[in-house]
């Protein structure tokens, strides 16, 4: 996911494929909502880089209904909360690249990136070495985020009687 090019028609879409597999831990799917889901980016810009996407294979915002759009933003909000609990970032970059010219690596399935940021998290290595150093294995980050989600669910059930 992320920067890998994908010209998809649904059946070949990496998001759609991962959802059908029902192997959430292997595919780093952190949460499944009613119309959208949260997934850890396997080509992250930073540790904890999440993506929120609708289940429906759609390339643009205008194709989605109000319920889908609402849940997308709700899951973006929940993602930042989980990242704060699990990784304690100092800020976030949040956005969507819609269309190839806008930088979309997976242009036919809309998704929103949530990239946690820390003071000094960029350096010369990506520029000189053409590589990105991620200081933690994806499985370790996934487990931290799952634990934060469980803690969040316990708090929400205790105060409002609902889960994430």
Judged by average pLDDT, the poorest of 4-18, 33-47, 86-100 is 4-18
pLDDT in tens, 24-72: 999 999 999 999 999 999 989 899 999 999 999 999 999 999 999 999 9
Give the pLDDT score at 103: 83
Determine the Cα–Cα distance for residues 76 and 72; give it in Å rounded to an integer: 6
Burial code of 66-78, b = ≥16 C-beta within 10 A, e = fewer? Answer: eebeebbeebbeb
Domains of the chain: 14-151 (3.30.428.10)
Catalytic residue among 57, 109, 111, 113: 111
The pTM of this model reads 0.80
Mean pLDDT of the chain: 84
36-40 β-sheet, strand order: 29-32, 36-40, 50-54, 112-117, 91-95
Give the pLDDT score at 151: 78
64 in Cβ contact with 54 (< 8 Å): yes
What would you report as the CA-atom Rg of the chain, rounded to the nearest whole angstrom? 16
109 is catalytic: no
């Amino acid at each position: 996911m992320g920067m890998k090019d994908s010209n998809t028609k649904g059946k070949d879409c990496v998001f759609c494929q991962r959802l059908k597999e029902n192997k959430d831990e292997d595919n780093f799917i952190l949460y499944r909502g009613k119309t959208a889901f949260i997934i850890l980016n396997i080509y992250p810009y930073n540790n904890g880089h999440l993506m929120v996407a609708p289940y429906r294979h759609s390339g643009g915002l205008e194709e989605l209904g109000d319920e889908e759009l609402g849940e997308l933003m709700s899951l973006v909000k929940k993602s930042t909360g989980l990242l704060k609990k699990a990784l304690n970032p100092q800020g976030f970059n949040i956005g969507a690249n819609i269309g190839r010219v806008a930088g979309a690596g997976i242009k036919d399935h809309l998704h929103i990136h949530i990239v946690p940021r820390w003071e000094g998290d960029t350096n010369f290595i990506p520029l000189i070495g053409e590589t990105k150093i991620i200081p933690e294995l994806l499985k370790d980050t996934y487990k931290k985020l799952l634990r934060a989600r469980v803690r969040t669910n316990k708090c929400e059930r205790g105060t409002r009687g609902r889960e994430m």
